[in-house]
Amino acid sequence: MSINSLANFGTPGLAGEREASLQPILTTHWRALVYSFGSSGETAPYDMTRQIKTVSLPSVQFSPITIYNYVSAVYIQSRGEWSEGQMSVLDDITNSARRRVENQIAKQKNFFDQTMSRAGENYKFEMDIDILAGGATAGNSAADPNIIRKYCYAGCMLTSVDDGQMSYDSATPKEITIGFRYDNVTVFDHTGARMGTFSHTNEIQSQSGTAAIGTGIQGNLGTTSGFSHSALGSSLTFA
Reduced to 3 states, what is the DSSP secondary structure of residue 105? Answer: helix
C-alpha closest to that of 152 among 120, 187, 181, 180: 187
Identify whether the C-beta of residue 32 lies closer than 8 Å to the C-beta of residue 87: yes
Note the pLDDT tens digit of each residue in 119-129.
999 999 999 99
- The pLDDT of 94-120, averaged and rounded, is 96
pLDDT (0 to 100) of residue 32: 98
pLDDT (0 to 100) of residue 221: 61
pLDDT (0 to 100) of residue 2: 74
Is the pLDDT confidence value at 213 over 60? yes
| DSSP 8-class letter at 163 | -
Identify whether the C-beta of residue 237 lies closer than 8 Å to the C-beta of residue 228: yes
Q: How many CA atoms lie within 13 A of 113 on its CB side?
A: 9
Question: Which domains, from first to last, does the chain contain?
Answer: 24-203 (2.30.110)
Q: Please, is 9 exposed, middle or buried when counting C-beta atoms within 10 Å of its C-beta (0-12, 13-18, 19+)? A: exposed
33 residue type, one letter: L
Q: What pLDDT band is residue 20 in, cutting at 50, 70 and 90? A: confident
Reduced to 3 states, what is the DSSP secondary structure of residue 150? Answer: strand
Predicted model pTM: 0.87
- Sequence-distant (6+) residues with CB within 8 A of 81 are 60, 61, 62, 63
Identify whether the C-beta of residue 188 lies closer than 8 Å to the C-beta of residue 195: yes
